[in-house]
């Protein structure tokens, strides 16, 4: 047949001129009892066979691509259809056809569900009459007939085919088609690949290309579009695997319901042999890589397995070839195990200019093990870009913003920081020797922050027992402080040690600001012996240093009296973090508790202030330095993520006495 004739025929195909009159073709093993119906018969046709019946139980899948196969998702199966005669309705006579056998290759038919409305049509290209169409319709045959079928080329179309996606995706029926040469083979493969080729074949034929060359070129261009053209002369199983992968990738476009049709890929390639829609390619690649990262390929394989008598081909590697090349992702190999992978395609939903920027795209991919990709966990994302640190370095997570990591030189890796290591980060970023007025700290608390003030009580009398009280000046000091803490409407949550003077301190501060004070929390942990591990040993240290102020300050700054068989004091950092995290922050974790005011004692506050200022505060009484004044202490400021900073505060003119 000449190129002009083929061009005219394909123009007819494209404009939908072919109509009415159907094909003698059996789908889903529908054996008609009519003597005029085409005969389905067994032969030496050596193709993968599918099960004649499907399981009545749906198959669950972990894949988001396919939640189940229902029993209504019938499949095309290998059928050889012998078209040896049709009835001419005008003359009621039969005309023999030279088309001896025709079959749909079922290697991939499990990709499609076939409903009762499925129709299969064959259009045979006839040099004399243009075309001859025969169609199966309840055993009655109408249409054109011809005895001069000189061309071996046919077009096979299957309409009413539904993709096997979950019902909720509402994927419409599609049509599959193929252009085949029955002079070289007695079957025509109908699949997405053949359907995608046909528009391009039509274009090439219209340009004067020969059918054989056009089919070969179109197939290579489709394979190139999916980055699979480098694989040639594949054995049968690998060829099956490649086409299964193309089916799955093309199907993903439909399932995502992103405005593209099943035919859009083929129509895009038809004009110039290139898949120019970069957005569609990226969306399909995004789907594929996410499926792989979530072990979705295993779910797809599980869903396909019950429908085949032979093993499902190894489609996974071809899927990976596509998304790796489309997204610019490297293959997971030994050398990049445990590392994050950068997506290089700007059209991808996973693309970021800066891998450390999680403001818009939080997902990252990582090489979990050789040959296996996965979503990077929060630890990997948090520490990405840290590089090699110094042993003991602590940094805040890049993604979380409130998880902390320390560098372990022995492991040459970052690990989650302990509570003590995490607090060292806060200390290093808070350290100062400047005591700030409590009013300034209070009035500058940010909307996303809350504060716990822990202060030494106000001026006391000579009675240092638990029942000892404030002096009248101490009560006045406290009230004056309260009068300055009134910028915000929220009441302070009040708390103190078990000592009366500590309770009086927060009571009079509350009176000064005009709030209720009857409800107060009591903390034995804020008693003056919090840092004391052994009282007898502590008394010995006091005698040695010449007083409790001296022994306490020497302990805080030098670590004295914390070693030996019976240490007098706890380790400063461990005991301070325990008080901050396990006592105070554990008690006041509600964001609505924005302002907390607690009162304690000098032998608690001096070590705590020394710790929170990283030894910058000058409270070295043991060596002639100063001592902490009344109503001075520390502000623990916490943001909405749980990060904190420490500010030494004073309520009187001076923080020292």
Listed in sequence order, the residues at least 6 apart from 340 whose beta carbon sits closer than 8 Å to its beta carbon are 355, 364, 365, 366, 376, 380, 381, 384
Q: Is the separation of the CB atoms in 530 and 498 below 8 Å?
A: no
Rounded to 5°, the CA angle 469-474-479 comes to 115
Residue 299 has a pLDDT of 84
Percent over 70 (pLDDT), the chain: 70
Residues 329-351: what's their mean pLDDT? 93
For the chain, list the domains and their CATH numbers. 3-200 (no CATH), 427-650 (3.40.50.1240)
Query: CA distances (Å), 478 to each of 35, 455, 465, 485, 504, in order?
Result: 109, 11, 20, 11, 9
Alpha carbon 280 to chain centroid distance?
20
- The 8-class DSSP code of residue 583 comes to I
- Name the more confident of 450 and 201: 450
Tell me the pLDDT tens digit for each residue of 275-286. Answer: 999 998 998 999
Listed in sequence order, the residues at least 6 apart from 288 whose beta carbon sits closer than 8 Å to its beta carbon are 248, 249, 252, 319, 320, 322, 323
When computed from its CA atoms, the radius of gyration of the chain, rounded to whole angstroms, is 40
- As a dihedral over the C-alpha atoms of residue 143, residue 149, residue 153, residue 156, rounded to 10 degrees, the angle is 20
The model carries a pTM of 0.63
Among residues 451, 417, 419, 453, the alpha carbon closest in space to that of 578 is found at 419
Residues 487-499: what's their mean pLDDT? 97
Residue 112 has a pLDDT of 52
Residue 95 has a pLDDT of 39
**Look-up: residue for tokens 């249409």?**
143
Tell me the pLDDT tens digit for each residue of 553-606. Answer: 999 999 999 999 999 999 999 999 999 999 999 999 999 999 999 999 999 999
Residue 629 has a pLDDT of 98
Residues 285-304: what's their mean pLDDT? 88
Tokens encoding 643: 């990060």
Rounded to 5°, the CA angle 594-598-601 comes to 155
Q: Is the separation of the CB atoms in 523 and 499 below 8 Å?
A: no
Coil vs helix vs strand at 95: strand
Residue 4 has a pLDDT of 36
Residues 533-557: what's their mean pLDDT? 96
Confidence of residue 413 (pLDDT cuts 50, 70, 90): confident
Is the pLDDT at 609 greater than 90? The verdict is yes
Residue 25 has a pLDDT of 24
Query: CA distances (Å), 604 to each of 86, 144, 227, 561, in order?
Result: 104, 103, 69, 16
- The 8-class DSSP code of residue 340 comes to E
Residue 209 has a pLDDT of 86
Residue 99 has a pLDDT of 41
Is the pLDDT at 230 greater than 80? The verdict is no
Give the whole-angstrom CA distance, residue 438 versus residue 454: 11
Q: Is the separation of the CB atoms in 351 and 363 below 8 Å?
A: no
Rounded to 5°, the CA angle 271-276-277 comes to 125
Is the pLDDT at 541 greater than 90? The verdict is yes
Is the pLDDT at 55 greater than 70? The verdict is no
Give the whole-angstrom CA distance, residue 516 versus residue 518: 6
Give the whole-angstrom CA distance, residue 638 versus residue 589: 10
Is the pLDDT at 441 greater than 60? The verdict is yes
Residue 124 has a pLDDT of 64
Mind giving me the DSSP string for 200-233?
Answer: HHHHHHHTT--HHHHHHHHHHHHHHHTT-TT--S
Give the whole-angstrom CA distance, residue 395 versus residue 405: 5
- The 8-class DSSP code of residue 620 comes to -
> Across all residues in the chain, what is the average pLDDT?
77
The neighbour count for residue 625, using CB atoms within 10 Å, is 14
Residues 34-45: what's their mean pLDDT? 26
Query: CA distances (Å), 31 to each of 40, 44, 86, 443, in order?
Result: 7, 19, 17, 87
Tell me the pLDDT tens digit for each residue of 174-224. Answer: 677 888 776 666 567 777 778 888 889 888 988 888 888 998 999 999 999
Q: Is the separation of the CB atoms in 557 and 610 below 8 Å?
A: yes
Instruction: Give the range with max mean pLDDT: 135-144, 257-266, 443-452.
Output: 443-452
**Longest Cα–Cα distance in the chain:** 129
175: Cα within 13 Å, side-chain hemisphere: 10
DSSP tally for the chain: helices H, then strands E: 18, 22
- The 8-class DSSP code of residue 445 comes to -
Residue 617 has a pLDDT of 95
Taking 3-state DSSP, the helix, strand and coil percentages for the chain, each rounded to the nearest 5, stand at 35, 20, 45
Give the whole-angstrom CA distance, residue 366 versus residue 341: 5
Is the pLDDT at 546 greater than 80? The verdict is yes
Q: Is the separation of the CB atoms in 568 and 533 below 8 Å?
A: yes
Query: CA distances (Å), 257 to each of 168, 170, 251, 267, 525, in order?
Result: 11, 9, 10, 18, 61
Q: Is the separation of the CB atoms in 136 and 25 below 8 Å?
A: yes
Confidence of residue 243 (pLDDT cuts 50, 70, 90): confident
């Amino acid at each position: 047949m000449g190129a002009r004739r083929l061009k005219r025929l394909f123009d007819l195909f494209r404009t939908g001129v072919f109509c009415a009159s159907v094909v003698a073709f059996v789908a889903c093993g529908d054996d008609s009892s009519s003597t005029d119906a085409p005969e389905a018969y067994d032969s030496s046709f050596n193709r993968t066979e599918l099960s004649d019946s499907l399981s009545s139980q749906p198959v669950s899948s972990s894949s988001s691509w396919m939640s189940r196969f229902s029993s209504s998702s019938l499949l095309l199966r290998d059928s050889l259809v012998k078209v040896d005669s049709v009835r001419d309705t005008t003359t009621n006579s039969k005309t023999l056809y030279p088309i001896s056998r025709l079959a749909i290759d079922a290697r991939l038919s499990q990709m499609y569900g076939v409903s009762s409305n499925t129709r299969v049509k064959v259009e045979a290209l006839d040099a004399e009459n243009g075309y001859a169409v025969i169609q199966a319709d309840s055993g009655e045959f109408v249409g054109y007939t011809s005895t001069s079928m000189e061309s071996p080329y046919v077009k096979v179309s299957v309409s009413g085919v539904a993709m096997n996606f979950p019902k909720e995706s509402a994927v419409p029926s599609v049509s599959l088609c193929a252009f085949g040469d029955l002079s070289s083979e007695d079957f025509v493969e109908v699949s997405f690949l053949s359907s995608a080729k046909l528009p391009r074949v039509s274009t090439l034929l219209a340009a004067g290309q020969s059918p054989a060359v056009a089919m070969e070129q179109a197939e290579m261009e489709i394979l190139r579009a999916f980055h699979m053209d480098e694989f040639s002369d594949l054995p049968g199983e690998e060829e099956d695997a490649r086409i299964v992968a193309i089916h799955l990738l093309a199907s993903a476009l439909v399932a995502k319901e992103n405005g593209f049709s099943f035919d859009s890929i083929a129509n895009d390639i038809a004009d110039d042999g290139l898949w120019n829609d970069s957005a569609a390619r990226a969306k399909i690649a995004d789907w594929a890589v996410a499926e792989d990262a979530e072990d979705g390929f295993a779910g797809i394989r599980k869903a396909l397995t019950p429908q085949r008598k032979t093993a499902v081909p190894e489609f996974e590697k071809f899927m990976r070839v596509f998304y790796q090349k489309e997204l610019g992702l490297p293959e997971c190999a030994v050398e990049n195990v445990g590392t994050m992978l950068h997506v290089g395609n700007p059209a991808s939903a996973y693309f970021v200019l800066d891998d450390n920027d999680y403001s818009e795209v939080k997902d990252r991919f990582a090489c979990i093990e050789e040959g296996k990709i996965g979503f990077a966990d929060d630890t990997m994302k948090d520490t990405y870009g840290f590089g090699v640190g110094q042993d003991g370095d602590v940094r805040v997570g890049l993604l979380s913003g409130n998880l902390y990591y320390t560098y372990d030189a022995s492991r040459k890796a970052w690990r989650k920081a302990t509570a003590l290591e995490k607090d060292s980060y806060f200390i290093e970023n808070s350290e100062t020797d400047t005591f700030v007025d409590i009013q300034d700290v209070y009035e500058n608390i940010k909307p996303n922050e809350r504060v716990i003030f822990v202060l030494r009580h106000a001026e006391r009398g000579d009675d240092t027992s638990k029942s000892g009280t404030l002096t009248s000046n101490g009560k006045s000091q406290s009230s004056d402080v309260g009068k300055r803490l009134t910028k915000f409407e929220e009441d302070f949550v009040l708390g103190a040690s078990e000592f009366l003077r500590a309770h009086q301190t927060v009571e009079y501060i509350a009176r000064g600001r005009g709030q209720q004070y009857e409800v107060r929390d009591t903390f034995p942990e804020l008693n003056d012996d919090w840092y004391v591990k052994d009282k007898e040993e502590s008394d010995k240290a006091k005698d040695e240093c010449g007083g409790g102020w001296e022994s306490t300050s020497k302990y805080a700054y030098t670590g004295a009296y914390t070693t030996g068989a019976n240490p007098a004091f706890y380790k400063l950092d461990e005991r301070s973090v325990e008080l901050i995290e396990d006592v105070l922050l554990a008690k006041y974790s509600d964001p609505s508790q924005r302002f907390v005011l607690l009162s304690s004692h000098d032998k608690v506050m001096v070590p705590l202030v020394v710790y929170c200022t990283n030894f910058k505060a000058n409270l070295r009484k043991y060596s002639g330095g100063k001592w902490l004044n009344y109503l001075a202490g520390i502000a623990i400021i916490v943001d909405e993520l749980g990060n904190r900073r420490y500010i030494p505060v004073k309520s009187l003119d001076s923080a020292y006495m």
